[in-house]
């Protein structure tokens, strides 16, 4: 009897905040959800380039619980059902727990499977070459190898970790000799000349059973803890998951296993780890500039100028990145733009909201955008998706005025339920239960004016769910 081939599961890692791409990437809206290279978000691009080699029904995404609904929306937008495809981590614990969690979850459904792991925030220009590498990796993984994709270095990059390849292995790969940290410029030049060093892409292929066995051998405590958590009938809690070690798959398994092989690849890969790396990847205009949004410039060379809602005017500058968002403008030397991570850490220390969220915040039911905030008043634009509704809630210290600018609103306002259409409004006094719902087929747009002191969660009483407005 012929041996049944294993099902193949692409697993996308969608954790992290992408702080080196601040201010576009933020904690509540990380870079994998942003359109940085084309009309789709990075996570949508990552999924789209898997086909037709891999099956959309087998896609699994590991992400933070706070990004669950927005990632689901991004899947639905490209015609991929999100049902059963998202594995939410209560907190981030690095790549080793995320990959083991995915493998154990898949093994609850399959006797065994081949898993391919991809970060969800990378870009690839040669999709045909990528597909060829996928087929090679699947063959190697079928033979019980743990495959890591090594990118042939095009230059002496100091921002990536490297993998040193050893003896040749059947199937176009070579044994993993060692992993090395990000080198200095002189060492990177040596790696480039040696010819057997590869950029560490963070992409893998393996049998689920093989990887789980390696965890059992090399990380027995993590294996036992996750096996127990994935076997329980209740959901994994934040308290439980945060006790797991914060460790990468390289440290946990790849540096220890005897099954590791590196598959050399050259398909136009970039991890988009900084504004400089994004600049390098994107096509250039005259003067070797990357221009996005409403930009006018003169005597400007080798610059990355990205606008949002405002006009950007540049004159007589070189090697500069300017990134405009509704609440922040970031300006830096292009070559040193990855240092923005330290600025984000400083914002965090100061308790500044700009490190965490944009003026537009995404919720399961839609979005809200802060248009103006001043003392005891706040003005927002609220967008409610068709068929969605907010929590039933009440505020102790503030009242609200709602004006419909598009669509139809079904509103609970105290004892009454009313329907409002464009250019109609209602007033919600403080201490009044209220709910906003979109019963229509087009997005509902509301302008909300809040009057009264804003006291964070102390002012909000929710009666049915945890996804109301702030």
Do 150 and 264 touch, CB atoms closer than 8 A? yes
Nearest Cα to 121, choosing from 187, 54, 30? 30
Lowest mean pLDDT among 17-21, 182-186, 289-293: 17-21
pLDDT reported for residue 459: 62
Asked if residue 211 has pLDDT above 60, the reply is yes
Can you list the positions of beta strands (E) in 386-457? Answer: 393-395, 399-406, 409-413, 416-420, 425-428, 434-437, 444-451
pLDDT reported for residue 309: 86
- Which residues fall within 8 angstroms of residue 122, CB to CB, at 6 or more apart? 42, 46, 201, 202, 203, 269, 270, 271, 272
Mean of the pLDDT values across residues 221-230? Answer: 96
pLDDT reported for residue 273: 87
DSSP sequence for 230-278:
HHSSSPPPHHHHTTS----HIIIIITT-SSEEEEEE-S-EE---SHHHH
Mean of the pLDDT values across residues 29-55? Answer: 93
Do 380 and 360 touch, CB atoms closer than 8 A? no
Please tell me what DSSP assigns to residue 32.
G
Mean of the pLDDT values across residues 166-195? Answer: 93
Mean of the pLDDT values across residues 7-31? Answer: 92
pLDDT reported for residue 470: 45
Compute the 3-state secondary structure of the chain and give helix, strand, coil in percent, each to the nearest 5. 30, 35, 40
Respond yes or no on whether the N-terminal peptide bond of residue 368 is cis (omega within 30° of 0): no
The reported pTM is 0.88
pLDDT tens digits along 318-373: 999 999 999 999 999 999 998 999 999 999 999 999 999 999 999 999 999 999 98
pLDDT tens digits along 422-447: 999 999 999 999 999 999 999 999 99
Asked if residue 461 has pLDDT above 50, the reply is yes
pLDDT reported for residue 442: 96
Band of the pLDDT at 1, cuts 50, 70, 90? very low
Whole-angstrom distance, CA of residue 116 vs CA of residue 271:
17
pLDDT tens digits along 82-92: 999 999 999 99
pLDDT averaged over every residue in the chain:
92
Nearest Cα to 130, choosing from 290, 10, 257? 10
Mean of the pLDDT values across residues 144-153? Answer: 96
* 321 token code pair: 């990145």
pLDDT reported for residue 463: 64
Lowest mean pLDDT among 216-230, 350-364, 454-468: 454-468
Q: Which residue has the higher pLDDT, 233 or 2?
A: 233
**Considering the domain 8-270 in this protein, what is its CATH number?**
3.90.550.10
Q: Residues 126, 41, 266, CA angle at the centre, nearest 5°?
A: 20
Q: Which residue has the higher pLDDT, 458 or 106?
A: 106
pLDDT reported for residue 469: 45
pLDDT tens digits along 229-266: 999 989 999 999 999 999 999 999 999 999 999 999 99
pLDDT tens digits along 116-146: 999 999 999 999 999 999 999 999 999 999 9
Asked if residue 158 has pLDDT above 90, the reply is no
Does domain 360-462 fall under CATH 2.60.120.10? My reply is yes
Whole-angstrom distance, CA of residue 359 vs CA of residue 327:
7
Whole-angstrom distance, CA of residue 444 vs CA of residue 383:
5
Mean of the pLDDT values across residues 287-300? Answer: 95
Give the residue range(s) of CATH 2.60.120.10 domains in the chain.
Answer: 360-462
Residue 269: CB atoms within 10 A of its CB come to: 22
pLDDT reported for residue 16: 81
Lowest mean pLDDT among 237-241, 291-295, 374-378, 426-430: 374-378
Asked if residue 2 has pLDDT above 60, the reply is no
Asked if residue 386 has pLDDT above 50, the reply is yes
Give the residue range(s) of CATH 3.90.550.10 domains in the chain.
Answer: 8-270
């Amino acid at each position: 009897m012929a041996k049944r081939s294993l099902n193949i599961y692409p697993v996308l890692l969608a954790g992290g905040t992408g702080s080196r791409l601040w201010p576009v990437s933020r904690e509540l809206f990380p870079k994998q959800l942003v359109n940085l290279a084309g009309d789709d978000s990075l996570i949508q691009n990552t999924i789209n380039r898997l086909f037709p080699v891999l099956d959309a029904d087998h896609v699994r995404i590991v992400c933070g619980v706070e990004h669950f609904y927005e990632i689901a929306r991004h899947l639905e937008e490209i015609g991929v059902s999100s049902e059963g495809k998202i594995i939410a981590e209560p907190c981030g614990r690095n790549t080793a727990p995320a990959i083991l969690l995915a493998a154990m979850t898949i093994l609850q459904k399959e006797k065994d499977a081949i898993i391919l792991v991809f970060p969800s925030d990378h870009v690839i220009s040669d999709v045909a070459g990528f597909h060829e590498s996928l087929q090679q990796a699947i063959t190697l993984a079928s033979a019980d190898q743990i495959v890591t994709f090594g990118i042939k270095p095009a230059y002496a990059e100091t921002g990536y970790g490297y993998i040193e390849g050893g003896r040749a292995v059947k199937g176009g790969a070579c044994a993993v000799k060692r992993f090395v940290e990000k080198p200095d410029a002189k060492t990177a030049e040596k790696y480039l000349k040696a010819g057997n060093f590869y950029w560490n892409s963070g992409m893998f292929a393996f049998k689920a059973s093989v990887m789980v066995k390696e965890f059992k051998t090399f990380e027995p405590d993590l294996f036992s803890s996750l096996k127990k958590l994935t076997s329980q009938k209740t959901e994994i809690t934040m308290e439980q998951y945060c006790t797991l070690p914060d460790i990468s798959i390289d440290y946990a398994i790849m540096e220890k296993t005897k099954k590791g092989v590196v598959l050399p690849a050259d398909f136009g890969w970039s991890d988009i780890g900084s504004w400089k790396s994004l600049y390098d990847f994107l096509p250039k205009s005259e003067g070797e500039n990357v221009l996005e949004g409403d930009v006018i410039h003169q005597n400007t060379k080798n610059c990355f100028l990205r606008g949002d809602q405002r006009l950007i005017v540049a004159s007589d500058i070189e090697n500069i990145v300017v990134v405009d968002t509704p609440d922040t403008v970031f300006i830096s030397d292009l070559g040193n733009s990855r240092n923005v991570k330290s600025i984000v850490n400083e914002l965090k220390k100061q308790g500044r909201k700009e490190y965490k969220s944009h003026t537009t915040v995404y919720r399961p039911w839609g979005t809200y955008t802060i248009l103006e905030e001043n003392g005891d008043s706040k003005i927002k634009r609220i967008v409610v998706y068709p068929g969605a509704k907010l929590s039933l809630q009440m505020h102790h210290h503030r009242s609200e005025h709602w004006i419909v600018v598009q669509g139809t609103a079904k509103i609970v306002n105290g004892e009454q339920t009313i329907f409002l259409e464009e250019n109609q409004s209602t007033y919600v006094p403080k201490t009044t239960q209220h709910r906003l719902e979109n019963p229509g087929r087009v997005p509902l747009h509301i302008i909300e004016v809040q009057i009264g002191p804003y006291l964070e969660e102390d002012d909000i009483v929710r009666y049915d769910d945890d996804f109301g407005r702030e």
